[in-house]
């Protein structure tokens, strides 16, 4: 392991430590109490919990991020982002895909401009095998926000949504629609006769190759 003692701290290192210390504060506070039955109250506001939740998400601490987002659940409009964050965490293994879908449903019902929630819901529907739902939600997102990009993980964007649509069409047996998306948006040099079994296999191989590129 390289020697770190004299290494200057970078912005990312400082940010990581800040997140780490804040996490210790939040998850230790529930177990702390003073003498004489003194109660220690949580001091973060809802927006602060949401901000911290996203910071934890961005360093892939999905379990603690999900716990943090739950502190911000409620009926206020600003809390919809907490449900969106919870959905992304659950979909990353902090809970089940069905639970993630429920969080995204709540977020989207509360704010139909929360496109991060809608995008996360698309990916979850696909993973659940609800291919038509994934297509319908993809069309809704791309019609409203064609250049969508996930701000908390910027390598995920509208091209991932297009690819999810193409794969969903494929698994519904709508090979022409799948091929059109691939050629129009993802690889305009690709060719396949999808009326044949061989062409369908070629398309599936291309979808898998593109998944390696777009995630």
Query: How is residue 202 written in tokens?
Result: 């070629």
Torsion of CA 181, 184, 188, 190, to 10 degrees: 20
**Where do the domains of the chain lie, and which CATH numbers do they carry?**
10-32+42-115 (1.25.40)
141-172 pLDDT, tens per residue? 999 999 999 999 989 999 999 999 999 999 99
Residue-averaged pLDDT of the chain: 85
pTM value is 0.81
Placement of tokens 């809608």 in the chain: 118
173 in the Ramachandran plot: left (φ > 0), alpha (ψ -120 to 50) or beta? left
Direct distance between the N- and C-terminal alpha carbons of the chain, in angstroms, rounded to an integer: 30
Q: What percent of the chain has pLDDT over 70?
A: 80
73-97 pLDDT, tens per residue? 987 777 899 999 999 999 999 889 9
Contacts of 36 (CB under 8 A, 6+ apart): none
104-114 pLDDT, tens per residue? 999 999 999 99
Residue 40: pLDDT above 50?
no
Query: How is residue 141 written in tokens?
Result: 């997102």
């Amino acid at each position: 392991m390289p020697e770190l003692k004299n290494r200057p701290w970078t912005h990312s290192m400082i940010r990581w430590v800040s997140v780490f210390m804040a996490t210790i504060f939040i998850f230790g506070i529930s177990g702390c109490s003073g003498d004489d039955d003194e109660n220690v109250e949580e001091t973060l506001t809802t927006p602060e919990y949401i901000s911290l939740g996203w910071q934890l998400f961005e360093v892939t601490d999905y379990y603690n991020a999900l716990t943090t987002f739950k502190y911000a659940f409620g009926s206020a409009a600003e809390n919809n982002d907490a449900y969106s964050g919870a959905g992304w965490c659950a979909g990353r293994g902090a809970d089940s895909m069905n639970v993630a879908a429920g969080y995204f449903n709540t977020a989207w019902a509360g704010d139909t401009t929360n496109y991060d929630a809608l995008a996360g819901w698309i990916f979850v529907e696909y993973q659940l095998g609800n291919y038509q739902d994934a297509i319908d939600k993809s069309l809704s997102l791309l019609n409203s926000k064609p250049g969508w990009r996930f701000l908390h993980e910027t390598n995920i964007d509208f091209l991932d949504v297009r690819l999810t649509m193409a794969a969903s069409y494929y698994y519904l047996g709508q090979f022409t629609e799948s091929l059109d998306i691939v050629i129009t948006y993802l690889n305009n040099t690709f060719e396949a006769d999808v009326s044949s079994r061989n062409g369908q296999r070629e398309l599936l191989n291309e979808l898998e190759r593109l998944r390696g590129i777009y995630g």
